[in-house]
Chains A and B, each alone.
Chain A
Amino acid sequence: MRQFALVGLPNTGKSSLFNRLTGLSQRVGNWPGLTVELAHARLLLGNQMVELTDLPGIHDLSGYTDDEAVVRDVLGARDFNALVLVLNAAQLDRQLPLAIQLTATGLPCLIVLNMADEAELLGIDIDAAALSHRLGAPLVLVSTRSGQGWAELQKALATLARQAGTPQRARLAGLPDTHEAVEQAEALLAGVWRLPPTLPKRLSHRLDQVLMHPWLGLAAFAAIMAALFNGTYLIGGPLQEMLGNALQGMREAWLAPLATHLPSWLASLLLDGLWQGVSTVATFAPIIFVFFVLMALIEDSGYLARAAYLTDALMARLGLDGRGFVLQLMGFGCNVPAVMGTRVLRERRQRLLSMLIIPFSLCSARLQVVLFFSAALFSPRHAPWVLAAFYAVSLAAAMLTAWLFKRRLCASEAYLLEVPPYRLPSARHVLTRAWGEVAAFLRLASTFIVAGVVLVWLLTRLPAGGYGSVADAIGHVLSPLLDPIGIPEPLAVVLLFGFVAKEILLGSLAVVYGVSDGQLTTALAAQLDWVSAMSFLLFTLIYVPCLSTVAAIRRESKSARFTLLSVGWSLLLAWLVSFVFFQLASRL
């Protein structure tokens, strides 16, 4: 089988081309991070089977920065029959140098000038035949979007597949360096690729007048972010509830009757443990789906680069950049997709720093807990202020963390970000993207949660001598830690449940106080003074959001050590904040 690789600068449409050629709907990132997996697919070109590999975008082959290293590693370690270079036809002045370097690797190359539609719109004059002749390589002008030039592309690919000899390793030593490549490219382009003397004003420019305006831009940014969160919960929230009810109904109608024949411990493990845990995770699926539909719309439109522009000044002081701010806001919806969203960052250290602060975003699950407590303990007049204060604490915890860790995790690379023209997102891409995220989330989080749930179930069921259950014993053991922050011993179990998911937290509080969800408000007000309650809430806000987030951090960082650091730091910070609060407030 022939081996072809798709290579080119970021955002030139490699993944779009890959999807259109292979008919796949595999999610291949629009802004890949360093950890983005390579995508492979087989397709028939002419009468040859070809395996096509989609690589992350690169700027330059002679560099040794992290993102280029991925491509260098693949090219240096695997044999290919040919490279398919994807270039933005409207940006050949800066993109052709990469083609010069790649054609010098000794591998046969096919040059694909993509985005012919945009080049035409800009009035760019391209003599494809002459350019192909000068480069000494076949060249096609296509638009993956409109399908222009598609037949020629298919023909050129088939020819390439037919003529391909034995696969070879790319020669990466002795390539022309950036300077040489740039000079050669300039000479090659003279007379065959011409920009018009003045570029036509595009819609993009007019939109940016507003969206990148110093203060109108910030207002628009706030409106778009508000639409993102509210949209997610307005649409996803009811869907989550419906799914939750359906799963609950299934449990009562089918599973509970079946389980009556089982020994009671097994029935409890299966129903209260496994089923409850897995279905709790499953109910997040609609929220994640809706969130990623909206995310993909924003991402594919090109708006993220504008948001990064607006917030960069603030984030620079925290060792991050503008994209990190966008992710932090997204965490207010749900931390899990925000952690997954760090894929838009290229540099690993920036991704890690972002992942470290995202868990402090007050997500909707914790919002429920905060709303519940403030309604139970404060007058309706004060409750909204309590909520606002918790959002402030959430942002402060994130900023403090970024500030503390920025020295260790600060990115050193130059911050250069292409601001692409606005593009209309394709519905198919948006939907497949969202579905792909949901599937990945369910696969991983469910395996992770099954283990966690079984463990928590065991803790609360296994008797432990004089202390009641193991969980009670744990509460007793943890009391030296909990007493200084004013959290009563029985609530240790609740915090353990909260580790799995904050959604379980209210339910487990009800178990601890022996009341149903409905009567919890009165029970809380009777049993907890406000200082202890606030301390408990602060702890709940700051410590580990949920197992799903930990799983997402583990998966995205690919590092157990970093995951431990993230968990450990949030526990420590939560304890310190609660400690300071409780010690001060109880002395008032």
Chain B
Amino acid sequence: MTLDRLRAGTRGIVTRLDLDDDTLRRVAAFGLRPGQTVHLARRAAFGGPLMLEVGTTQFLLRGSLARHIEVDQRA
């Protein structure tokens, strides 16, 4: 499933990123890359951004971008 579908408070493992090179580099700088565990800490109201945690880094990402990132849901 895609990252934007992940339930708030759960984790997933990134499996694939369907992004152009430039965006791929930008998300990699926040630790989003295949094999990494992401924690979807919370989701803003009205289709606002997602707050993600990778390792100790917290960051915002819009749902429109998260739709292009595939994850395997974990407990």
Residues of A in contact with B (beta carbons under 8 Å apart): 9, 59-60, 62-65, 90-91, 93-94, 97-98, 122, 124, 178-179, 182, 195, 199, 208, 212, 214-215, 305, 308-310, 312-314, 316, 322, 413-421
Contacts and interface: CB of A to CB of B under 8 A. Distances in A.
A418 B42 contact: no
A240 B60 CA distance: 39
Contacts of B58: 418-421
Q: Which of under 10, 10 to 19, 20 to 34, or 35 or more describes the interface residues of B?
A: 20 to 34
22 contacts: A9-B29, A60-B28, A65-B26, A91-B55, A93-B55, A94-B29, A97-B28, A178-B25, A199-B56, A212-B42, A214-B44, A309-B44, A309-B48, A310-B44, A313-B44, A313-B46, A313-B47, A416-B27, A416-B29, A416-B60, A419-B59, A421-B58
Contact of A312 (B24, B29, B33, B48): B48
Contacts, number: 109
B60 A305 contact: yes
Nearest to B46: A313
Contacts of A305: 60
A63 B26 contact: yes
A214 B45 CA distance: 6
Would you call the interface of chain B mostly helix, strand, loop, or mixed? mixed
A140 to B, nearest CB: 20
Contacts of B44: 212, 214, 309-310, 312-313
The 9 closest A-B pairs by CB, nearest first: A59-B29, A313-B48, A94-B31, A313-B46, A419-B58, A214-B45, A417-B60, A178-B25, A93-B55
Interface in B16-64: 22-31, 33, 41-42, 44-49, 51, 54-62
Interface centre among B24, B25, B48 (most CB of A within 10 A): B25
B65 interface: yes
Nearest to B19: A414
B39 to A, nearest CB: 10
B51 A414 contact: no
Contact of B26 (A195, A312, A414, A419): A414
Contacts of B46: 313-314
A90 B59 contact: no
